[in-house]
Amino acid sequence: MKKLISLVLALVMALSLVACSSTNNQANNGNASNNGGNASDDGGDAAGQLDTDNPIKIGYLAWASGADAYMGLVAIAALEDRIEEINANGGLLGREVQLIWYDISADFSESVNATNKLINQDQVDAIIGPDGSPFAITLGSIVEEAQVPLLPNCGNAEVTINDDGSTKPYVFRVAPQNALTSITMAHYAYNEMGVRTVATLSESTNISTVEAVDEFVKEFEALGGEIVAQESYMLNDTEFRAQITTIAQAEPEYVYMPAAAYKEVCNFAIQLSDMGYSDSIKILGTDGWYNPDALAVAGDALDGCVVVSALDMNSENIAPMVEEFAEKHADLNASLHLYALYAVNALQFLEYAITTAGSTDGPAIKQALEETTGVEMITGGSWYFDEHHDPVGPEFTILSIEGGEAVSLGVYSVEQ
C-alpha cells in the first residue's frame, strides 16, 4: 500500500507540474490570464461591449508548483472560470476583468516579491491569496502602503492582526481563523464524541498548523480532556513511523492533525494502518486536507476519521460545482478543493465591493468590504467581515470519513 500511495502522489505531482509550466509562463512574464475572448463566444454581445482598454486587474498569489501544485493550479482554474462568467455578463463597471497570478511556492519571500510585482508592475486593483499563513503575515504593511486590498485564505491570527492588536487595514481574511476551527473540533470531540485522550501531530515549520494545535490543546484541556502526546514533522516529510510509535505508546483515542495539505495525512493514515493501529487510533482533522483526492488516494485508511470544515463539499451548493469542474478541467487531474472555493469567495467579495463602491479605488473597495452586512456566496451563506476583518457567516460542518466518502454529520457551533 505504501508503494501505491507513493506512485499515485508522484503521478499527481508530475501532471500538476506539466500543467503549471504551461500556464505559469504567462503570469511570470507579467501577462494577464484573460478569459474575455472565451466569454464573448458564449455570452453574446455583453462581453463584446466590455471596456478592454481599461481592465480591472485582480492579482492572485498561487502555490502552483512542487508537491502541492494542485492547490494553486485548481484555484487558478476556478478563478478563471468565475472571471469568464463575469465578463460574459458585462464585466464589472462595464470593464473587462483580468486575472494576473504568480507562483510563490518556492520560498516565503516569493510572496513579498510577487506582491510588489502585482502592485508596482502590473498595477492590480486587489489581490487574492495567498493560501498559507507564513506567506501572508508579512504582506500587511505592503498592501497598506499601496492601498491595495488583500484577501488571503489562511487561518493564523497574525494575518489580519498587528503585534499591537490593531487590525491590518487592507487585509481581509476569507477563511475561518485557526482558533475558531480548533475550538470547534475540541468541543465536538469532547462533548459529542466523548473523546477524553488525544495526541497531536503538526508541521513544525508551519505557523498556521502549530497555532491550530496550540488552540486545540488549550481548549481540549480546559474542557477536561488529556493531551497524551505531541509530535511534529517537517514540510514534505513522507515517513511517520517514528511519530506513530511514540503516539501509539501513549494510547490516545484520536490524533489531531490540522495539516495544510493532504499528502502528509494520507501517508500518516496509511502507515498507521500498516503498523496495525488504525482500529484503535483515528484522526481528527481540518479542512486544509478535506479533499476528494485525499479520500481517493488513502482509501479505507482514513475510515473513521472526523473533519471540521467551514465548507461542505457535498452540499447542494458545492457538489454541482465539483462535478462541473471535474468535467471542464479533467486535464488538471485534481479535484475542486476548499482553497479554490475560498479564492472564489474572495473574488465574490471583490465583485460586491467594486460594484457597490462604483470604483476600483483601493480605499473605496476597503470601505465597501468593511461596511457590507452580507454577501451571498455561491458556496452558501451570507458572509461579511467583523472588526478584525475575519469572516462572519461560515458554518462549520462535521464530517466523518466512511468507505472513502465524507459523510456530513451536520452543522456544529460553539457558543462564545
The domain that contains 212 carries what CATH number? 3.40.50.2300
Give the Cα separation of 16 and 285 in Å (integer): 25
Give the Cα separation of 291 and 318 in Å (integer): 13
The string over 198-227, giving b where at least 16 C-beta atoms fall within 10 Å of a residue's C-beta and e elsewhere, is bbbbbbeebbbbbbbbbbbbebbeeeebeb
- The whole domain housing 257 covers 178-309+396-411
Q: Which residues pair with 229 in a beta bridge?
A: 199
36 has pLDDT over 60: no
Residues 89 and 195 in one domain: no
State how many domains the chain has.
2
Phi, psi at 230, each rounded to 5°: -130, 110
Question: Does any domain span residue 391?
Answer: no
Question: Does any domain span residue 378?
Answer: yes
Question: What are the tens digits of pLDDT across the range 318-337?
Answer: 999 999 999 999 999 888 99
Residues 170 and 207 in one domain: no
pTM exceeds cut of 0.75 = yes
- In the numeric block, the cell 470604483 is attached to 359
Residues 285 and 376 in one domain: no
- pLDDT-derived band of residue 358, with 50, 70 and 90 as boundaries? very high
Residues 215 and 140 in one domain: no
Question: Does any domain span residue 149?
Answer: yes
Rg (alpha carbons) of the chain, rounded to whole number: 21
Question: Does any domain span residue 390?
Answer: no
Residues 227 and 135 in one domain: no
Sheet holding 391-392, edge to edge: 375-376, 382-385, 391-392
Please give the pLDDT value at position 91. 97
Residues 28 and 116 in one domain: yes
Give the Cα separation of 389 and 113 in Å (integer): 24
**In angstroms, how far is CA 199 from the centroid of its own chain?**
24
Question: What are the tens digits of pLDDT across the range 137-161?
Answer: 999 999 999 999 999 998 888 999 9
Least confident of 162-166, 294-298, 310-314: 294-298
290 has pLDDT over 90: no
Residues 18 and 167 in one domain: yes
Residues 31 and 159 in one domain: yes
Residues 283 and 354 in one domain: no
Residues 289 and 300 in one domain: yes
**In angstroms, how far is CA 121 from the centroid of its own chain?**
26
Higher pLDDT, 10 or 295: 295
Residues 37 and 15 in one domain: yes
Average confidence score pLDDT of the chain: 87
Q: Are strands 382-385 and 391-392 parallel, antiparallel or unpaired?
A: antiparallel
Q: Is 190 helix (H, G, I), strand (E, B) or coil?
A: helix
Residues 189 and 265 in one domain: yes
